[in-house]
């Protein structure tokens, strides 16, 4: 199956909205073994849509259209499709009832324009929208599937997941592709590739696909099986081997997040946690509480941005600050120990560094960060050197601290 | 000037990268009075690129191509353009010297593929890239401008700003359009439109354009003059009138950020600030320090996520927590007063609320938040009701707290 995506919307052309729909469709289709080879964005204009439909190339067998189905502009895509396929609109009774129920449930008055959303082309399969009032449409004409969906992302995603993917799999007899993803932190894509070269060769030689998916500070590794879920056991064995190769980097799988993984480990060990933050200024605490169950192990934090607060709140000695500087191994350790006691927690993470853009020296350049972890019986510190972007340095510090803690909790 | 954008890259089609380049180009061109009417994304494939060039419609007079110029794939876009325009590559001496200097400055060895980046089509204007090694190209053929740029966003943006926009303005004799933007918080787009209806009519009647640019929690208002910067004085007068209409909402102009505006006010009044956070879990402190100069007024914060820490760190009375609950006016006020003293600051913001997704009751639903501001001589509290998304609730609380503080600092 080779697909083309047509996104309709002036807001996309003037850059007011970023076309995340097309990315999502590309990503999801690649997961089921289909391929998007072209994405076009045009304005909410009948002539433009008609021309796009006329100019479809013969190298694709599926067109997915998003946008132009709202109640205020429903005349555009729908009417153009009717004209193109030489059919006409008629009220689709199940859709009308669904729309009426939708408004009744929300106690909102129904406008004539909402009723008209139930007027749909005679000559197509209606795709049920459980998230809004604009139905999707599926045309099967001259060996080509043409699908029209609303542009609101969660409505589009809902209809794609519930109505479109199952039909496409059946129609194009798509092979059962199965993916599983592992998450790594603290190692760049090329270093990672170098380090796991033999493992990668082995995965590929056994007939699996491997993709590196990098994002700032993280690299995901996705293994693809072309035999479906029956290979899950084999993939898990590959990842087990990978975990032995890079235990400091591999922190989780699939939809897991790093704060969630750390949270599970803390819960398992019945540890409470706190943080004491200088250069991250609260980002580490906020990342920990981004996990909804955090109140089971997180009680509180200290943000000690100034030297005075390091002393006042976390009992860091003034001598250490004067002798070693606020960004030093000694101060990181005293911060973690002092705050662990002050907060009354089992584990405490400290961060102190030069986030930038100013404040660096030759000896202590922008991007230098010390992180310390205080446990019941030991406190350890590590030095990191990040780049010159303030926001990125805070994020890298936060990810590095959480992943390092994850590793230590696994081996304790 | 009517433009078309052609984005080249497999990573865009499989959804690994979102096409933010096309959005940015659309946005920036609309600012200089040009219009993008079509965006197409295709793969790194010579035939695809050639076909896209052959199929250009006559309704545009400018094509902007991004992507496919890196050292590993430089044969694709560049060679295709040469073939299409029936010209050939030759070493462009100034570019070669620039690339050599680039590598020398970074102490990195130069590969043959890097040298080849200086091989550029004979028959075009070279657009200097001050941010990387792939030059841009400008072809002026048969009444159409065809521009080819690297896909790396900051290189593309750099060349567009320094080389392309000035040339496009001259070539298409674009009218001098001038914009100025005001930022608002705490009022939805439709309520805002209702409230400033007469003001808006007046702006439009005087021949100016007005655009509402909404993003989560914020709405920007952009006034456009079609007579260039000479209207700046008039626009400032409009915004002055707007500020009188919505002093609680309008917090800044142009590239200002809310933490920056709050920082300027604190600096002007010589106030230090701290926070004590429950539901925001450090996000408010982190947002304050996102402004690089924050150390002048921000010293530290307390994250008091558990009831125990509210008492332990911020001296909130256990009675108040038991009688009114942690999410209450009384506790918000005690948190702000207690932390102001503990941190030794002039101003302190407290947040306590139910971020969700769980923990809500009928009386105190998810999204309920109390914010208090403690000043030298008064402490005030306000109740907010946000939605059911945890992350969004934390962001809305942070924006609301900072904007409310901004308003209070302005009228003190």
- Report residue B193: phi and psi, to 5°: -60, -40
Q: Are B123 and B85 in contact (CB under 8 A)?
A: yes
* Chain B residues 55-74 within an 8 A CB cutoff of chain A: 55
A103 in B contact zone (CB under 8 Å): no
Going by their DSSP bridges, the two strands A89-91 and A125-127 should be labelled as unpaired
Q: Give every CB contact of residue B81 below 8 A, 6+ residues apart in sequence.
A: B53, B121, B124, B137, B139, B146, B148
Q: Count H helices, E strands: chain A?
A: 17, 17
How confident is the model at residue B75, as a pLDDT?
64
Quote the CA–CA distance of B388 and A345 in Å, as a whole number. Answer: 30
Instruction: Find all residues with CB under 8 Å of B185, minimum gap 6, and list them.
Output: B217, B218, B219, B249, B251, B258, B399, B400, B403
| B25 closest CA partner among A361, A38, A107, A19 | A19
Torsion of CA B84, B89, B93, B97, to 10 degrees: 90
Q: Residue B105 above 90 pLDDT?
A: no
How far is A242 from A180, CA to CA, in rounded Å?
13
Q: Is pLDDT of A134 > 70?
A: yes
Query: What is the pLDDT confidence band of residue A279, given thresholds at 50, 70 and 90?
Result: very high
CATH class label, A178-253 = alpha beta
Provide DSSP, B201-229: HHHHHTT-EEEEEEETTEEEEEEEETTGG
Alpha-carbon distances of A197 from A85, A189, A200, A204, A248, rounded to whole Å = 53, 12, 5, 11, 17
Euclidean distance between CA atoms B81 and A179, whole angstroms: 38
Query: What is the C-alpha separation between A109 and A104, in angstroms, rounded?
Result: 8
What is the complex's ipTM, to 2 decimals? 0.85
Residues contacting residue A161 through CB under 8 Å, at least 6 positions apart: none
Over 80: is that where the pLDDT of B71 sits? no
| Strand order across the A250-253 sheet | A209-215, A218-225, A178-185, A250-253
Q: Which residues of B touch A290 (CB under 8 A)?
A: 281, 390-391
Picking from B283, B292, B343, the nearest residue to A390 by CB comes out as B292
**For the residues A56-78, what does the mean pLDDT come to?**
83
In terms of Cβ atoms closer than 10 Å to its own Cβ (0-12, 13-18, 19+), residue B363 is: exposed
pLDDT at B294 over 80: yes
**Size of chain A in residues:** 412
Given a cut of 90, is residue B331 above it in pLDDT? yes
Q: In this predicted structure, what is the pLDDT of residue B109? A: 80
| CA dihedral sign of residues B49, B54, B57, B60 | positive
Mutate to test the interface with B, among A301, A302, A352 (most CBs of B within 10 A): A301
Q: Domain spans of chain B?
A: 2-171, 178-253, 258-411
pLDDT at A318 over 60: yes
Q: Which two tokens stand for residue B135?
A: 């030059």
Cα distance between the two ends of chain A: 50
**Residue B250: strand pairing partners:** B184
Cα distances (angstroms) measured from residue A264 to each of A183, A258, A291, A293, A312: 16, 10, 10, 10, 32
- CB under 8 A, 24+ apart: contacts of A203-207: A203/A238, A206/A234
| Neighbouring C-beta atoms of residue B318, cutoff 10 Å | 11
- pLDDT band for position B133 (cuts 50, 70, 90): confident
Measured CA distances, A399 to A328, A403, B175, B206, B209 (Å): 20, 6, 48, 52, 44
Q: What is the pLDDT of residues A287-308, one digit of tens each?
A: 999 999 999 999 999 999 999 9
Sheet of strand B347-353, all strands in order from the earlier edge strand to the far edge: A379-385, A368-374, A347-353, A273-277, A298-304, B298-304, B273-277, B347-353, B368-374, B379-385
Task: Say whether pLDDT at B70 is over 80.
Answer: no
Portion 27-46 of A in contact with B at CB < 8 A? 27-28, 30, 35-43
* Banded model confidence at residue B175, pLDDT cuts 50, 70, 90: confident
Q: Which CATH number fits domain B2-171: 3.40.1400.10, 3.40.980.10, 3.40.50.10470, 3.40.50.80?
A: 3.40.980.10
Choose among B98, B6, B91: nearest CA to B57.
B6
Distance separating alpha carbons of residues A392 and A366, to the nearest angstrom: 12
Flag whether pLDDT at A33 surpasses 90: no
Q: Tell me B410's DSSP state.
A: H
For the segment B80-105, the average pLDDT, to the nearest whole number, is 92
- Mean per-residue pLDDT, B274-299: 97
Q: Which residue has the tokens 């409470």?
A: A272
Chain B residues within an 8 Å CB radius of A39: 12-13, 19, 39-41
Cβ neighbours of A198 (radius 10 Å): 10
Q: List CB contacts (< 8 A) between A38 and chain B.
A: 13, 40-42, 48
Per-residue confidence (pLDDT) for residue A72, from 0 to 100: 63
Question: What does the pLDDT read at residue A74?
Answer: 53
Chain B residues close to A17, C-beta within 8 Å = 23
Lowest mean pLDDT among A69-78, B91-100, B253-262: A69-78
Residue A167 to residues A32, A164, A178, A303, Cα–Cα distance (Å): 12, 5, 18, 53
Best of B26, B298, B391 to mutate (most A CBs within 10 Å, chain A): B26
Is the pLDDT at B73 greater than 70, yes or no? no
Q: Which has the closest alpha carbon to A8: A56, A59, A62, A69?
A: A69
Token duo for residue B27: 């946005």
Residue A75 has pLDDT above 70, yes or no: no
Please, which pLDDT band fits residue B235 given cuts at 50, 70 and 90? very high
Could you tell me the pLDDT band of residue B288, with boundaries at 50, 70 and 90? very high
User: Is A299's CB within 8 Å of B309's CB?
Assistant: yes
| DSSP assignment letter at A161 | I
Mean pLDDT score of chain B: 93
Residue of B nearest to A358 (CA): B292
To the nearest 10°, report the CA torsion of B9, B13, B16, B22.
Answer: 70
Fill in the DSSP letter of residue A163.
I
Specify whether domain B258-411 bears CATH 3.90.950.20. yes
**Tokens matching residue A372:** 């310390």
Q: What angle do CA B120, B125, B129 make, to 5 degrees?
A: 70
Using CB atoms and an 8 Å cut-off, which of residues 332-351 of chain A contact chain B?
A: 342-344
> pTM score, two decimals?
0.86
Please report residues of A whose CB lies closer than 8 A to that of B23: 12, 15, 17-19
Average pLDDT over residues A250-262: 97
B289 to A302: CB separation less than 8 angstroms, yes or no: no
Tell me if A62 sits within 8 A of A4, measured CB to CB: yes
Cβ atoms of B174 and B28 within 8 Å: the answer is no
Do B291 and B263 meet the contact criterion of CB atoms below 8 Å apart? yes
Phi, psi of A234 (to 5 degrees): -65, -45
Nearest to B30 among A14, A282, A299 (CB): A14
Alpha-helical runs (H) found in A123-231 = 153-159, 165-171, 189-195, 197-205
CA distance A309 to B285: 14
- DSSP classification of residue B257: -
pLDDT in tens, B106-119: 777 887 778 888 99
Residue of A18, A28, A288 lying closest to B20 (CB–CB):
A18
* pLDDT value at B303 more than 80: yes
Tokens 């081996």 sit on residue: A411
For residue A282, pLDDT over 90 is answered with yes
Asked if the model's pLDDT at residue A283 lies above 60, the reply is: yes
């Amino acid at each position: 199956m080779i697909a083309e995506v047509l996104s309709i919307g002036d807001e996309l052309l003037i850059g007011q909205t970023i076309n995340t729909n097309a990315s999502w469709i590309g990503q999801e289709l690649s997961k089921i073994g289909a391929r998007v080879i072209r994405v076009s964005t045009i304005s909410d204009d009948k002539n433009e849509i008609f021309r796009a439909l006329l100019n479809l190339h013969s190298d694709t067998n599926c067109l997915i259209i998003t946008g132009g189905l709202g109640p205020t502009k429903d005349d555009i895509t729908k009417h153009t499709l009717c004209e193109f396929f030489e059919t006409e609109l008629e009220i689709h009774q199940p859709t009308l009832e669904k729309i009426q129920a939708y408004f009744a449930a929300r106690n909102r008055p129904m406008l004539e324009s909402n009723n008209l959303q139930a007027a749909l082309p005679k000559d197509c399969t209606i795709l049920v929208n459980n998230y809004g009032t604009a139905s999707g449409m599926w045309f099967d004409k001259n060996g080509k599937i043409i699908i029209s969906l609303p542009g609101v992302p969660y409505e589009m995603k809902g209809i794609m997941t519930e109505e479109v993917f199952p039909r496409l799999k059946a129609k194009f007899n798509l092979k059962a592709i199965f993916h599983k993803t592992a998450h790594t932190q603290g190692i760049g894509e090329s270093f990672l590739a170098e380090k796991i070269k033999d493992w990668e060769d082995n995965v590929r030689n056994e007939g699996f696909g491997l993709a590196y998916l990098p994002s700032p500070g993280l690299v995901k590794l996705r293994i693809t099986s072309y035999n479906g879920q029956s290979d899950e056991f084999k993939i898990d064995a590959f990842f087990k081997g990978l975990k032995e190769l890079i235990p400091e980097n591999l922190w989780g799988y699939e939809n897991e997040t790093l704060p969630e993984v750390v949270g599970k480990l803390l819960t398992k060990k019945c540890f409470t946690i706190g943080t004491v933050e200088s250069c991250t200024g609260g980002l580490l605490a906020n990342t920990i509480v981004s996990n909804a169950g955090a109140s089971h192990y997180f009680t509180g934090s200290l943000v000690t941005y100034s030297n005075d607060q390091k002393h006042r709140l976390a009992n860091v000695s003034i001598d250490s600050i004067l002798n070693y500087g606020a960004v030093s191994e000694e101060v990181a350790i005293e911060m973690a120990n002092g705050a662990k006691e002050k907060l009354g927690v089992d584990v405490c993470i400290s961060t102190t560094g030069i986030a930038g853009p100013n404040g660096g020296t030759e000896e202590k350049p922008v991007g230098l960060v010390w992180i310390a972890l205080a446990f019941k019986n030991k406190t350890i510190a590590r030095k990191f050197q990040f780049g010159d972007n303030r926001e990125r340095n805070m994020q890298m510090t936060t990810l590095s601290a959480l992943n390092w803690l994850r590793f230590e909790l696994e081996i304790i």
